[in-house]
Amino acid sequence: MAMKRINIRDLSLEEIEALISSLGKERYRARQIMKWLYSGGGVQSFEEMTTLSKPFRSQMEELAFIGLPEIEKIQASKDGTKKILFRLEDDLFIESVLIPGKNHWTACISTQVGCRMGCRFCLTARQGFRRNLRPSEITGQLEIILSSLPEGPNVRSIVLMGMGEPLANYRNTLKALGILTSDYGFGFSNRKITLSTCGVVPMIRQLGRDICINLAVSLNAPDDAVRNQLMPVNWKYPLESLLAACRDYPMPGRRMLTFEYILIDGVNASPAHAEMLSRLLRGIRCKLNLIRFNEFPGCPFKSPSEDTVLAFQQILVKHHFTAIIRASRGRDILAACGQLSGKALEENTSQCLV
Supply the pLDDT for residue 181: 97
CA distances (Å), origin 132, targets 103, 111, 172, 253, 301:
33, 7, 8, 33, 28
Per-position DSSP letters for 286-330, written without gaps between them: EEEEEEE----TT----PPPHHHHHHHHHHHHHTT-EEEE---TT
| End-to-end Cα separation, the chain, in angstroms | 41
Q: Which residues contact 74 (CB under 8 A, 6 or more apart)?
A: 82, 83, 84, 85, 149, 352, 353, 354
* Active-site hit among 17, 95, 165, 295: 95
Taking alpha carbons only, the member of 259, 258, 261, 257 closest to residue 221 is 261
pLDDT tens, position by position, 22-78:
999 999 999 999 999 998 667 889 999 999 999 999 999 999 999 999 999 999 988
pLDDT tens, position by position, 303-333:
999 999 999 999 999 999 999 998 765 555 5
Supply the pLDDT for residue 281: 98
Burial class (CB in 10 A: 0-12, 13-18, 19+), 86: buried
Residue 290 · residue 248 · CB < 8 Å: no
**pLDDT > 70: percent of the chain:** 91
Supply the pLDDT for residue 352: 37
Q: Is 95 annotated as catalytic?
A: yes
Pairwise CA distance, residues 48 & 35, whole Å: 12
Angle of helix 28-38 relative to helix 13-22, nearest 10 degrees, comes to 130
Supply the pLDDT for residue 340: 54
Supply the pLDDT for residue 350: 35
Q: Is 337 annotated as catalytic?
A: yes
- Provide the CB-side half-sphere exposure for 233 (13 A, CA): 26
Residue ranges, the chain, pLDDT below 70: 1-3, 40-41, 328-354
Supply the pLDDT for residue 343: 62
Number of helical H runs and strand E runs in the chain? 12, 15
* Active-site hit among 108, 122, 198, 337: 337
